Amino acid sequence: MPARLVMGGQWGDEGKGKIVDALAEHAALVVRATGGDNAGHTILNPRGEFKMHLIPSGIFHAQALAIIGNGVVINPRGLLDEMATLRAAGIDLSGLRISDRAHLVMPWHPLFDQVEERSRGAGAIGTTGRGIGPAYADRASRTGVRVADLQDERLLSEKVTALVASKNRILGLYGVAPLDAAQVIEQYYAFAEQIEPHIAATEILIQDALAAGREVLIEGAQAALLDLDFGTYPYVTSSFPTAAGSCAGAGIAPTQVCETLGVFKAYSTRVGGGPFPTELTDATGDHIRERAREFGTTTGRPRRCGWFDAVAGRYVVRLNDIGRVALTRFDILDDLEEIRLCTGYWVGGEALPYPPAREDLWERIEPVYETLPGWRSDTSDIRALADLPANARRYVERIEEALGVTVGLIGVGPSREQLIHTDASAPMTAMAG
Ligand code: GDP
Ligand code: IMO
Ligand code: MG
């Protein structure tokens, strides 16, 4: 049985955690494949409310192994804090597995993230400050420290000693106080002891599960428009949160994926800098932010809010071969009189059929909007498509047409059961053929 991928279709925070939590009921493995603790996935289920940063949302399902794959960059301090929070809530962590090939976020990575951001001035990316970019840069430069290094004390100590010496030279140029190698080594030895029981060759676990016909669910982090190549570069994250990137980050081949599910909010948000053609800087934007409590799960920053962008959405759908979509936070639009949908981009009097590579073009995009009537009623208790008001169904249909997808799930609230399965005969909990 092939794997299923769940990925973000916009700029993150679409509700991927909630969707994975809802879909993981029969999964044997739930895998995080990309990103690090820049991700913040909120889950509200019968066990409580949880903010997950590194541990896959499958940890709440007793039958599932929760895997942190090779493509993730792991801050061990953050991971241990997250494990402690879950343990305190009575969550069993015996199913947690951590790839020995995953890279570690080292103490110098957040420092570089912060000084580099400062030096960008007005062009700051607005990163989460977690050291994600520098950690991925070191991975590509072959100067990274991996989980496997935690299993070899001598190697870890040699690597850290050499790296601290070279990183301190650069930190000094930024006026940052030097790190103490002995302290870092001691700290990472302590992490090693606690993480050791969870370390595994996760790519083999995943391949064994697939070979045995068991269900594998990949929990995407970040989202397609934050992708290094296809996002709004340079205002992106430093990984590949696309379907292809998730395959690489889990150790599976593209031919082993049967379906990529896209998670899209019924409107748009982004945190940090960068272009956002449909951004609302008016009272409607403020209204959405307040109603939805759109503040970052990881950093608490206010999220920028705007209308649904079907031009960018269609691009993401095509590049990732998304057939079915989970449309989340639909209830947030409940009290709007009218709702807009961006179906075209104009730049200097010319139509732009897909998102541009050029930064100056992104900044000059004038969105073309379709205006639809709102439904002005509470959808949060609705569980069947037929019970949605006609105007709400019309909005869903327009998104389906504009994106060329089927909306399989509609989110009408934060908790696990606040979902409408639009087609009871082909629920998203079941695999597509
Ligand atoms: P993720 O990073 O994609 O997992 O998303 P976040 O957890 O960062 O942000 C999504 C927010 O929306 C969280 O606060 C969720 O609890 C909440 N949420 C998810 N789905 C829905 C929904 O359908 N309706 C409402 N009102 N909230 C939702
Ligand atoms: P989830 O998985 C929303 C954004 C940051 C910043 C840019 C680069 O919860 O959807 P980074 O720290 O990655 O170098 O920051 O990417 N960003 C996210 N925005 N949701 C996320 O994750 C994000 N992860 C990174 O705000 O603009
Ligand atoms: Mg999030």
SS3 track for 87-106: HHCCCCCCCEEEECCCEECC
Q: Find the 11 Cα to ligand 1 centroid distance in Å.
A: 13
**Domain identity same for 16 and 61:** yes
DSSP letter at 127 equals: -
C-alpha neighbours within 13 Å on the C-beta side of residue 220? 36
**Domain identity same for 39 and 109:** no
Residue 294 corresponds to which amino acid? E
Can you give the CATH number for the domain in which 361 is found?
Answer: 3.90.170.10
**Domain identity same for 418 and 313:** yes
- Please count the structural domains in the chain: 3
Which ligand lies nearest the alpha carbon of 332? 1
**Domain identity same for 227 and 167:** no
- Report in angstroms the alpha-carbon separations of 57 from 15, 196, 336: 12, 21, 32
Pocket test for ligand 1, best of 21, 42, 261 (most atoms within 8 A of CB): 42
**Domain identity same for 339 and 424:** yes
Domain boundary among 210, 238, 260: 260
pLDDT 10s digits, 23-37: 999 999 999 999 999
Active-site choice (21, 37, 41, 149): 41
Q: Is 282 a catalytic residue?
A: no
Q: Is 13 a catalytic residue?
A: yes
Predicted TM-score (pTM) of the model is 0.97
Can you give the CATH number for the domain in which 130 is found?
Answer: 1.10.300.10
Can you give the CATH number for the domain in which 203 is found?
Answer: 3.40.440.10
- Report in angstroms the alpha-carbon separations of 428 from 5, 382, 424, 425: 12, 17, 9, 10
Taking each helix axis from N to C end, the angle separating 76-88 and 181-195, rounded to the nearest 10 degrees, works out to 40
**Domain identity same for 153 and 183:** yes
Residue 431's pLDDT is 60
Q: Find the 408 Cα to ligand 1 centroid distance in Å.
A: 17
Residue 346's pLDDT is 98
Domain boundary among 178, 195, 212: 195
**Rounded Cα gap, residues 57 and 20, in angstroms:** 6
**Domain identity same for 74 and 144:** no
**Rounded Cα gap, residues 319 and 69, in angstroms:** 23
Residue 427's pLDDT is 73
Active-site choice (13, 37, 227, 331): 13
Domain boundary among 177, 195, 213: 195
**Domain identity same for 254 and 373:** no
**Domain identity same for 204 and 348:** no
Residue range of the domain that includes 72: 3-102+199-260
CB of 57 sitting under 6 A from ligand 2: no
Which ligand lies nearest the alpha carbon of 135? 2
- Residue 270, strand partner residues: 304
Could you identify the atom of ligand 1 that is nearest to the CA of residue 293? Answer: 14
**Domain identity same for 278 and 404:** yes
What DSSP line would sit under 32-71, residue for residue? E-SB-TT--EEEEETTEEEEESSS-GGGGSTT-EEEE-TT
Listed as ranges, residues in the chain with pLDDT below 70 are 430-433
CB of 309 sitting under 6 A from ligand 2: no
**Domain identity same for 161 and 187:** yes
Q: Find the 174 Cα to ligand 3 centroid distance in Å.
A: 31
Q: Find the 328 Cα to ligand 1 centroid distance in Å.
A: 7
Are 371 and 358 in contact, with CB atoms under 8 Å apart? Answer: no
Could you identify the atom of ligand 2 that is nearest to the CA of residue 40? Answer: 9
CB of 241 sitting under 6 A from ligand 2: no
Residue 277's pLDDT is 98
Pocket test for ligand 2, best of 82, 128, 268 (most atoms within 8 A of CB): 128
**Rounded Cα gap, residues 171 and 108, in angstroms:** 8
Which ligand lies nearest the alpha carbon of 128? 2
Residue 433's pLDDT is 44
CB of 392 sitting under 6 A from ligand 2: no
**Domain identity same for 170 and 280:** no
Q: How many residues does the chain have?
A: 433
Other Cβ atoms within 10 Å of 226 Cβ, number: 29
